[in-house]
Structure 1
């Protein structure tokens, strides 16, 4: 992952996600997760495309158990969309790049127009 995606752990979760000024996409993954390897480039593409409107963070579930619990992550890959310190949308499981782009665009439009 490049500098567009911020790698965080439990200790950074409140500062980087819950206290963030802009919307945040949190990507939960695991080293042992095959689908996570397929989704990771799409998450990077989202960070590059929407970096001016969205913060993208990446958390390894095995090292971020508290954040995973807070976000009710039951499987990986998992995506959580935050705005104004609240999780407003979630997705679990593999997702194509186009589906992810559409999902993020929809959430951004919704939050920017509310």
Structure 2
């Protein structure tokens, strides 16, 4: 299951009202560490797609949600369950660490 692009306009329905947990990756085109973890997140999306939706939000194209959430640095991963922020991770990490962190929150 490929990662899903989320925008300021779709955040409410795609993330807050989703019927399963959603991990949002706040990223930008110019962010090297964001590009480093992108393939890992795609693989995790394939492996855990039944349990969690992996979504990506470009903070340059969608400034409202990251601004409201106080996103200071990227990559910034936030896991939402039932419309609530339940966990966050700042910075890049290896795939194994990302996956075990996500699984530990589900």
Q: Shorter-chain-normalised TM-score: which range?
A: over 0.9
For structure 2, the residue ranges without an aligned partner over 5 or more in a row are none
For structure 1, the residue ranges without an aligned partner over 5 or more in a row are 109-114
Give the secondary-structure state (helix, strand or coil) at the position aligned to 1:63.
coil
Moved over 3 A (4+): none
User: Which position in structure 1 is the counterpart of 2:60?
Assistant: 62
Aligned residues: 106
Give the aligned CA root-mean-square deviation in angstroms: 1.0
Mapped to 1, the partners of 2:54 and 2:38 lie a distance apart of 12
What do the CA deviations read for 1:34-91 (whole angstroms, capped 9, x no partner)?
Answer: 1111010111111111100111111001111111123321111110000010001111
Q: 2:86 aligned with 1:88, yes or no?
A: yes
Once the two structures are TM-superposed, the CA of residue 10 in structure 1 deviates from its matched residue by 0.4
**What TM-score do you get using the length of structure 1 for normalisation?**
0.89
Pick from 29, 32, 52 the counterpart of residue 30 of structure 2: 32
**What TM-score do you get using the length of structure 2 for normalisation?**
0.95
Task: Identify, as 1 or 2, the structure richer in helix.
Answer: 1
Mapped to 2, the partners of 1:105 and 1:6 lie a distance apart of 19
